[in-house]
Structure 1
């Protein structure tokens, strides 16, 4: 290994490791013991095990790797690894996202503070939750409904809508239970809920913006339409490109670029979630990583851009800078399956996936549960049972195909308790 051709990957998946090797890079992997697989070790040139959510644990491993082999870039593309990578960048003076910027993106309250300080157009009211009474006080100041959520979790975990003062007691009890249970369900078990933020409610449909930044110039690849349902915050689908008019799309693109400038992100992928309602575009949250839920597959299918390939290659000058937004070719969509029983139950059978995967239009068909798993009604992304992603000549056609395949081919049986 030579330092100038070596990347330190923190918490990388097999796909990320494969992308690094395809670029001809040497790879040092720092992996959490709960996420390690033999295939990862086979792909990496060196593998170190450490809890990368704990800086005291990961720092000595990074220092040892830097002293023994050296590396030119550190990268992480999953939420729990982002702060560790940023600290490594600062420690060794490497290019890439700093810890200051990473924390602004990871901590939703700090992000709100930064936007307010900068007088950004996407400012909404926000306060840290202190106690039960602070919920009433926030509602009195900013009105109902409002939203309560952990400052640094993911997958819609622990997000609650406080519609009226009568909801406060139930929400408070739910938050206390969430904060008292240690590592949260889902999110890889690598998040522990501590701080909670209260935010003004932003109305309107929600979108995500998939971008890549080149030395401070932000190129939006896709405005992605998000599908949700009343009663919870779980994401039930995504459509690329979003089925919106050019005026709203341009407003969303502009708000995203302004936001990334304000936060200070200069290089690499980002996934920014925006609602567009009466206030215009309002940033809900953002991440310096590729979007989950197979969004990267939808983007590649429609725009021909492999975001993982770019994320690994750009720091080494191995990919060309995108000068303009790519043109869409067709459409793509992913739809998720809710518990058909609508209540707590047990998965007793799963069928239809082999047939789905045999179809050329299907990008992905994946069960997110196994036979014997206990499931419940959907509250957050971790409660979804399966996904189907497909392409079509348009976004409408892709959505229709996903829904038909789920209805007619996919069979997941849940027996209620």
Structure 2
């Protein structure tokens, strides 16, 4: 059986999910580097699989330790380990994103400049490091704008900027060392906000395209629909398949293809977010990995095992993407997340969860916050109060189910 090195960190598919998904095809070797974001689940890994602990090792030392396990492929499902995985793959002689392409997949400013140069998007962007540079950027690109981390996931610390006052308030939060200091440890991007599109449907005005790339050949797997964003720009969930006309779907897929090629992606999975604008579909960003929890939605809606697909692509299996049918959906699979109001500071209680669990169409509900927990909208996906999962036969039933969820579950916050 094949051995696949899986570099683990924040945002990865779960350890048990990976073990189950690869059963019968490959044995995962979980590579655990130092992480500033999570405590690596080494005890669980040792119970169910093979642990390769590289914490504290140099890149060269880590490469040799991994090589000793004899992996035939390497992959990561974590945004934060794309660069390390590419470097390790390069040294091990395995397929992955090219190291010189990682910045275009993990740095929003670099990526936007490449997409603009290729004509895939037309969104002015500036890199900023304090309030002075942010004010200059706003004067150059104009408003409305958006301020967000140059590297980040899950809608974390993303601010609307419609005035100098809003910009000053956002800068005071993201550059706490001083508005004029210029010594922030994290880089931010100020870019034009893609115009909104008026729609009559109950969904968000953006989608994501899930794609597989092997030796430069792009194969699209699915177009994922999105629920409307919560203020200011927080994701509230996804569903498969998206509710699009054939013409709009074709336009979205073409946009995703051109974006992936503009970034020079050669191998791996891509998760491309695309917004509908008055000028047509515009790329929000391209991620060089599997989208969060998308593997579960894909499996329930189509039977496609996206974790195994990622491993087979990393292994170089040219048959992996053959026969993928984007019309082969068995149901509408979804996840819906409840995020706190931007002004909420503390959770007092959640009512109606047990009733929701009994509602037809709901398969499970995970409550992520407990009464008394501190709430902060800036934490993005990590701040979800609860997430529910399920499947329904039609998009019409899904729209009604979301209405019912909001009525059944009540949130009390200070």
- TM-score norm. by structure 1 comes to 0.84
1:293-321 CA deviation, whole Å, 9 max, x = no partner?
A: x3332222222212112112333339632
Q: Which residue of 2 aligns with 1:196?
A: 188
Runs of 4+ in structure 1 over 6 Å off:
none
Aligned equivalent of 2:226: 226
8 Å Cα contact 1:332/1:394 also seen in 2: no
Unmatched segments (≥5 aa) in structure 1: 181-191
Gaps of 5+ in 2: 197-204
Closer, same or farther: CA 63–379 of 1 in aligned 2, 3 Å:
closer
Q: 1:242-391 to 2 correspondence within 5 Å? A: 242-292=242-292, 294-316=293-315, 317=317, 320-327=320-327, 328-339=329-340, 343-348=344-349, 352-353=353-354, 356=356, 361-376=361-376, 380-391=380-391
Q: Deviations over 1:20-42 (max 9, x none)?
A: 34414352532547122422122
C-alpha deviation, 1:9, in angstroms: 1.3
Residue 19 of structure 1 corresponds to 21
Q: Secondary structure at the match of 1:202?
A: coil
Structure 1 residues 379 and 232: CA distance shift in structure 2, 3 A: farther
Q: Separation in 2 of the partners of 1:414 and 1:178?
A: 34
Q: Does 1:39 align with 2:44?
A: yes
> Residues 39-95 of structure 1: CA distance to partner in whole angstroms, max 9, x if unpaired?
2122223331527xxxx64542232231x3332211110111111101111222221
CA RMSD between the two structures:
2.9
> 8 Å contact 1:241–1:395 — kept in the other structure?
no
* Distance verdict in 2 for CA 1:318–1:249, change over 3 Å: closer
Contact kept, 8 Å, 1:178 with 1:193, in 2: the verdict is: no
Q: How big is the shift at 1:263? A: 1.0
TM-score w.r.t. the length of structure 2 is: 0.85
Distance 1:175 1:9 in 2: 33
Report the Cα offset of residue 120 of structure 1: 2.4
- C-alpha contact (below 8 Å) 1:232/1:380 kept by paired residues: no
The 5 Å alignment of 1:144-163 reads: 144-163=143-162
